[in-house]
Structure 1
Amino acid sequence: MRRTHSLRTRLAFGYGLFFAAVLVLMSAGVYWLVRQALLTEVSQELAAAAELIQQDFAASAGPLPGFFSDPDVLLKSLPPRLTELDTPAFYVQVSDLDDQFSIGSASLRGQQLPRTPEDQTAAMGGSTTTRIFPLGRGRVIQLSAPLLAGGAVVGVLQVAQSLRPVDQTLQVLLEGLAITGLIALVAAVRGGVWIVSRSLGPVNEITSTARQIFQAADLARRVPAASAADEIGALADTINAMLERLESLFTAQRRFVADVSHELRTPLTAMRGHLELLQRGVVRDAEDQAEMTADLLREVNRLTRMANDLLLLAQAEVGLQLRCAPVALDDLVLEVVRELRPLGEGVAMRPQLAEQVAISGDRDRIKQALINLVANAIQHSPVDGTVTVALDQDGESAYLRVRDEGQGIAPEDLSHVFERFYRADRARAQRTGGAGLGLAIVQWVAHAHGGEVLVESALGSGAAFIIRLPLSREQETEDRG
């Protein structure tokens, strides 16, 4: 079974690791800087002591020949400053160039300071070398320098100093850094846990509320909004927006099911009544039977149209692909007006075509949308009214405008006219057989082509529906040319 850790634990652990790494790096940096400073200080002291010895030796030795082969002569030539520098932690050693003879300070206690070929080469070249090595129970830092007499290099001077004080200081520093670092790490981890707990408090509330919403299936409830405008606040706002969307979708689904049931119940009830009368033989007159048969056929056609519209909208929701090709909208307008003119008993049909307009789109879907608008305008136009179907363009988009002279749409209904099964005048819809799906299809067709559909209306002034569709590239080129 996989072990799980809370987000708070993982964040606190990660914060602790990061802080520990920073502490280690900072401590290492401090330790290195202090060590370098101490070693530099000791090196400077050695260099100063070596310079004094060199000066005194050069002044006292003079051009004495063979003083390295005669210990008495060498001891007389060594400056008295060696006695002043002869402390337990300070070492001085003088040797000839061949390293065959050497004499050192009493602090060496019979030991010799090591001399490498690099030290000899550097001394003969007039430069110095510095290195650290173990001596006795500790470490020493040694500086090797040329020993001059009469302007010539006659030997090698080595001065060294014990690093025990430096090592002791560094040990105390290391222990102090470890103790303070541990205290700081514990404090930082505890503080990090506290900060993470406070920061994740709203997340826990969101999780608890979301779980309650899921268990109770209460989409009307919302998660608590965070007071700060941070990521958690954005998360709460996003979840609330999602809940609002889900609530609206479920509400629309319930309304959709109820509307479909209602729309199906009415024609099915009428059809059942007619069929029962025919089955019982109540209607014997041939003319009445023909009328009932016509009513049944009309209801069947109505149900067929509704089923086709519902199927189209369902396919649109799952991504129905358009069959795009060049479409001459001016020819399409004339075709729709010609086909629907017989439906407008007493209603005049007036096309207005300013120019030829072509787009790239699905001709059948655009025609279906235009038929829905024109048929809707005919149904809402009074006798002797006029339905105007206009086409124009502005260089970027084409506009199909369908205007009627009916009663218009109330302001409270304008925002709902494109909803499925929504009908501002249900009585008229029942008479005309409308199911309230036509405008929803019009809106989908417009959006599927990258356009939109707009409505302009006021009570008593009729209504105008405008479909805006992007022009094809060829049409744009011709207009700009």
Structure 2
Amino acid sequence: MRRLKLSTKITWNYALIFTSILLIINLAVFFSTQLYNRLSANNEVEQLAGALEEKLLSGEALTREMFWEEGILYPLYAEAESGDTLIKSEELLNLTNQDEWLMERTLGEGKKSSDDLVIEELRVAAPSGIVTLRVVKDLSVYHFMNSVTLVTLIIASLLGILVSYVVGYFMSRQSFQPILAMTKSAAAIGPSNLHDRIEVPEVKDELKELSETFNGLLDRIDDAYSKQAQFVSDASHELRTPLTVIKGYNDLLNRWGKEDPEILSEAIEAIRLETDNMSMLVENLLFIAKGENRKMKLSPVTFSVKELLAETAKDFSLSVPGRVFQVEAEEFSVTQDRRMMKQLLRIFLENSVKFTKESSTITLRAKDQGDRYCLQVEDQGEGIAKEDLKNVFERFYVGEKARTKDKAGSGLGLSIAKWIVDTHGGEVQAKSTLGEGTTMEAVFPKTMQI
């Protein structure tokens, strides 16, 4: 079954469902017919017995002709027993009761018996004495009709199977024609014509949703290619800028800076800063490459979140004395990669430092939420524009306000932060209002699933 085409599977499933429904309907018809015959026989026998009982109570004497007048002819049968007298509606029929009621019918030299009977037996206190009245209907006359009905329903079911398969085959073929066309269109799209899209059907159905979804996938791939190209351009620019600065200061030193302490100090400091920028950029690129190739090994350990926040705040207090780093954390422990979680906090803090003024307060929070916990880094900085907020975690994305020289970056930090959060099974979001500040929030399970 696994090797069958999807259209064939749909055909068989359609045939199976249709056949099952048909069989259920046919069985319901068959058994309801039998039930109707039995209920009708019961009602008919009760009515005849009631009519005969009224005649007996009125003092009339029951005779065979009276039975006939009431319409009691085979398969109906009636008998009235009073003492040693037995009056029957038909002499060739005989009703006996041993373990169960049995009706025997004399046909020529042979006899035919039936135990499929509906019987109504009454004891009537007639003016002439106690009369035992029995009215019977032989349901064996319906056996042939039931057999014919059953055979007819079986034949109808077999024809239904055939018809359902044929109809299912043509329906699946017709349904899959647009899919085959979409497959051909998709197969024709490659790197040289990545901007092409498959045709979207006009009818609003699942195929239209599928084609729109696939076109959306192509849009994302196209966007990824564009971002990759933009990244190569940005990375080249980012690397070219510090290299140009280093080369410029190197030339300056070679010409006349060796003997001038002021120029020498300025050049060394500039070269150091640009080297640090290059080192950070290269480290980020290597981090992303390792993460995408799943070569990054995580080492979960159990540690106190409050201690981690205090340690990270202390590190930044020493390296960035112009900001106030405040810790508000509950005491609890988690099992995660401590080094990665510290790197996550550093990324959040570096962004906060970049967009806050001197003496601003940056708050690190940790909240216990049962089997999960929440990390927050809140600042009182410039905030993020609404149009930038939804894109801040995308790789290579740099907001418009972050493109100034003193705040420019490669757009990799927050994308790395998101990768760390996703790897630990958490969720991250940025909350911000322009002019009021930004809060980076990440929610994690306390125990990392490896």
Distance 2:260 2:218 in 1: 59
Q: What secondary structure, in the 3-state scheme, does the structure 1 residue paired with 2:367 have?
A: strand
* Letter of the 2:341 counterpart: I
Cα distance per residue 1:392-440 (max 9 Å; x no partner): 2121322221111111111111011112333335667632574332212
* 1:300-449 equivalence runs, <5 A: 300-319=275-294, 320-353=296-329, 355-424=330-399, 430-431=405-406, 434-449=409-424
Bigger radius of gyration? 1
Structure 1 stretches of 5 or more lacking a match?
1-6, 23-144, 147-180, 474-481
Determine if contact 1:389/1:403 at 8 Å carries over to the other structure: yes
Distance 2:439 2:176 in 1: 53
* 1:235-274 equivalence runs, <5 A: 235-274=210-249
Q: What secondary structure, in the 3-state scheme, does the structure 1 residue paired with 2:312 have?
A: helix
How big is the alpha-carbon RMSD for the aligned residues of Structure 1 and Structure 2? 3.8
Distance 1:298 1:272 in 2: 13
* Letter of the 1:263 counterpart: E
How many equivalent residue pairs? 303
- Note closer, same or farther for the CA distance 1:250–1:427 as it changes in structure 2 (3 Å cut): closer
What residue number does 1:464 align with? 439
Percent identity of equivalent pairs: 29
**Matching residue within 169, 181, 205 for 1:229:** 205
Distance 2:258 2:398 in 1: 35
Q: Which has the higher strand share?
A: 2
* Letter of the 2:287 counterpart: L
Structure 2 stretches of 5 or more lacking a match?
20-108, 111-158
Q: CA deviation at 1:278?
A: 2.8
What residue number does 2:179 align with? 203
Distance 1:461 1:426 in 2: 15
Range with greater deviation from structure 2 (460-469 or 259-268)? 259-268
* Letter of the 1:341 counterpart: S
Determine if contact 2:257/2:264 at 8 Å carries over to the other structure: no
Determine if contact 1:423/1:429 at 8 Å carries over to the other structure: no
What residue number does 2:49 align with? none
Distance 2:165 2:299 in 1: 63
- Note closer, same or farther for the CA distance 1:197–1:365 as it changes in structure 2 (3 Å cut): closer
* Letter of the 2:175 counterpart: S
What residue number does 1:50 align with? none
Determine if contact 1:381/1:406 at 8 Å carries over to the other structure: yes
Determine if contact 1:351/1:390 at 8 Å carries over to the other structure: yes
Determine if contact 1:223/1:239 at 8 Å carries over to the other structure: no
Range with greater deviation from structure 2 (431-440 or 420-429)? 420-429
What residue number does 1:129 align with? none
* Letter of the 2:415 counterpart: A
Distance 1:410 1:235 in 2: 34
- Note closer, same or farther for the CA distance 1:323–1:287 as it changes in structure 2 (3 Å cut): same
- Note closer, same or farther for the CA distance 1:210–1:288 as it changes in structure 2 (3 Å cut): same
Distance 2:422 2:250 in 1: 42
Q: CA deviation at 1:272?
A: 2.1
Determine if contact 2:182/2:198 at 8 Å carries over to the other structure: no
What residue number does 2:272 align with? 297
Distance 2:277 2:397 in 1: 17
Q: CA deviation at 1:286?
A: 2.4
Distance 1:418 1:409 in 2: 12
Cα distance per residue 1:286-341 (max 9 Å; x no partner): 22122112211211111111111111122112223321111211110110111110
Q: CA deviation at 1:226?
A: 6.7
Q: What secondary structure, in the 3-state scheme, does the structure 1 residue paired with 2:348 have?
A: helix
- Note closer, same or farther for the CA distance 1:433–1:267 as it changes in structure 2 (3 Å cut): farther
Cα distance per residue 1:225-258 (max 9 Å; x no partner): 473635x556535533432332232222222222
Distance 1:395 1:223 in 2: 50
* Letter of the 1:390 counterpart: R
Distance 1:223 1:217 in 2: 15
Determine if contact 1:274/1:296 at 8 Å carries over to the other structure: yes
Q: CA deviation at 1:346?
A: 3.0
Distance 1:428 1:200 in 2: 50
Distance 1:282 1:461 in 2: 46
- Note closer, same or farther for the CA distance 1:403–1:189 as it changes in structure 2 (3 Å cut): closer
* Letter of the 1:251 counterpart: S
- Note closer, same or farther for the CA distance 1:290–1:398 as it changes in structure 2 (3 Å cut): same
Distance 2:403 2:326 in 1: 24
Determine if contact 2:376/2:442 at 8 Å carries over to the other structure: yes
Determine if contact 2:194/2:218 at 8 Å carries over to the other structure: no
Answering whether residue 203 of structure 2 is matched by residue 219 of structure 1, we say no
Determine if contact 1:357/1:392 at 8 Å carries over to the other structure: no
* Letter of the 1:344 counterpart: V
Determine if contact 2:402/2:409 at 8 Å carries over to the other structure: no
What residue number does 1:65 align with? none
* Letter of the 2:299 counterpart: R
- Note closer, same or farther for the CA distance 1:425–1:247 as it changes in structure 2 (3 Å cut): closer
